[in-house]
Amino acid sequence: MLDAIYDNIVQAQESICIDVHDSLEYIHSGYHKMTLYCLGIEGTAHSFGAGIVTSEGEVLSNEWDMLKPAQGGIHPREASRHHSELGPKIIKDAVQKAGIDFQEINLIAFSRGPGLGPCLRTTATIARTLSLKLKIPLVDVNHCVAHIEIGCLESNFDDPVTVYVSGGNTQVIAFAGGRFRTFGETLDIAIGNMLDVLGRELGMDFPGGPIIEKQARNGKEYHNLPYSVKGMDLSYSGMLTAAKKLYSEGVSIPDICYSVQETSFGMLAEVAERAIAHTKKKELLLTGGVARNTRLTEILSGVARRHEAMFHRVSPSLAGDQGAMIAWNGILQYNAGHQIKVENSHVLPKWRTDDQDILWRQQN
């Protein structure tokens, strides 16, 4: 089945890739003497995105589409089919909205991992096809690192403690010794996944997180839930089970949502505060899809104030999974001398944040 999907991708690319003539010669002649245009392609899970970003950090376009299953959670093969069917149009729209031609794109960046295997392979196939067709460099990007760097671009932060929260990841991260080090992370399920699963249990549409946030504003009574912080790591599975139990006992949905948010966000704040105290960094960055949550923003901004640190929440358009963050990280890596050959660009579903050398940042 996947082979058929890949064949469809290659065929689809023929409709959006252009013939490259003499214009490629001037593109290759002076990459570092002119503005670079990078096409970033994101497709690690249920969302597919494409964005164009310049080497000056200007986001020219950022198009994406999210798969919403009729019921249940995300099935990897359904998501990969979504990417292969909609990906070519999303890419074409991104290029058109950026106001450039395909001939003007200087490099292709793609999310190599971490993520769902079928989704990553579909995304990588699209990126490889474009790189070969356009005869331009290919750059492999760590999805988690890209969330950090797009936040730093927007905030002008140099060296933050980052709280990265999404459907698939929950990490507290800081740069040290040439890599983004994970100071704390979930031991089981990510906070975004926990909220979505709870939302389904409560009869909510996908994604459940934004609906839970709205319901929580009407909550009046706090109910105790498992507060599981183990050293610098967190666990949300027990909280999810306990919240389901409250629902079965007839506790109101607003009170359940209120209790879940206060407890889960309090756990994150504790770990983030410890990381700031340990590293002595003066910037706190909130990024990832769950960064859209206003209550989490309030709690973490309070942490920053107590430590006299600056705080920034990534704007909603850059918080979730999208191509602009991949494009910007691709530029950073390319300018640091990194690109990858197509034959070496196999995907890395379990690629950790702290597995990549951050060549473009000065070691401290």
The pLDDT, as a whole number, for residue 225 is 98
Does some domain include residue 162? yes
Q: Which of 63, 85, 66 is nearest to 207 (CA)?
A: 66
Could you tell me if 176 and 261 lie in one domain?
A: yes
Does some domain include residue 362? no
Distance, CA of 141 to CA of 149 (rounded, Å) = 11
Distance, CA of 251 to CA of 247 (rounded, Å) = 5
Could you tell me if 75 and 112 lie in one domain?
A: yes
Does some domain include residue 285? yes
Q: Is the peptide bond before 349 cis (omega within 30 degrees of 0)?
A: no
Could you tell me if 85 and 162 lie in one domain?
A: no
Could you tell me if 65 and 178 lie in one domain?
A: no
Does some domain include residue 195? yes
Instruction: Give residue for tokens 């020219």.
Output: 60
Distance, CA of 263 to CA of 300 (rounded, Å) = 13
Could you tell me if 202 and 291 lie in one domain?
A: yes
For the chain, the domain total comes to 2
Does some domain include residue 115? yes
Q: Is the peptide bond before 137 cis (omega within 30 degrees of 0)?
A: no
Residues 6+ positions from 201 with CB-CB distance below 8 Å: 243, 244, 247
Compute φ and ψ for 305, nearest 5 degrees: -60, -40
Distance, CA of 94 to CA of 62 (rounded, Å) = 6
Q: Which of 166, 195, 140 is nearest to 47 (CA)?
A: 166
Tokens of 136: 């331009």
Could you tell me if 12 and 107 lie in one domain?
A: yes
Does some domain include residue 96? yes
Could you tell me if 91 and 189 lie in one domain?
A: no
The pLDDT, as a whole number, for residue 151 is 98
Could you tell me if 182 and 93 lie in one domain?
A: no
Could you tell me if 127 and 216 lie in one domain?
A: no
Could you tell me if 217 and 266 lie in one domain?
A: yes
Look at residue 230 and give its three-state secondary structure.
strand
The pLDDT, as a whole number, for residue 26 is 38
Look at residue 317 and give its three-state secondary structure.
helix
For each successive 10 residues of the chain (364 residues), what is the average pLDDT?
A: 44 45 40 82 97 98 91 86 96 98 97 97 98 98 98 98 96 97 97 96 94 97 97 97 98 98 98 97 98 98 98 97 98 97 97 96 69
Full residue range of the structural domain in which residue 37 is found: 2-148+321-355
Q: SS3 for 15-84, per residue?
A: HHCCCCCCHHHHHHHCHHHCCCEEEEEECCCCEEEEEEEECCCCEEEEEEEECCCCCCCCCHHHHHHHHH
Is residue 256 within 8 A of residue 202, CB to CB? The reply is yes
The pLDDT, as a whole number, for residue 6 is 40
Give the CATH number for residue 97: 3.30.420.40
Could you tell me if 114 and 32 lie in one domain?
A: yes
Could you tell me if 144 and 31 lie in one domain?
A: yes
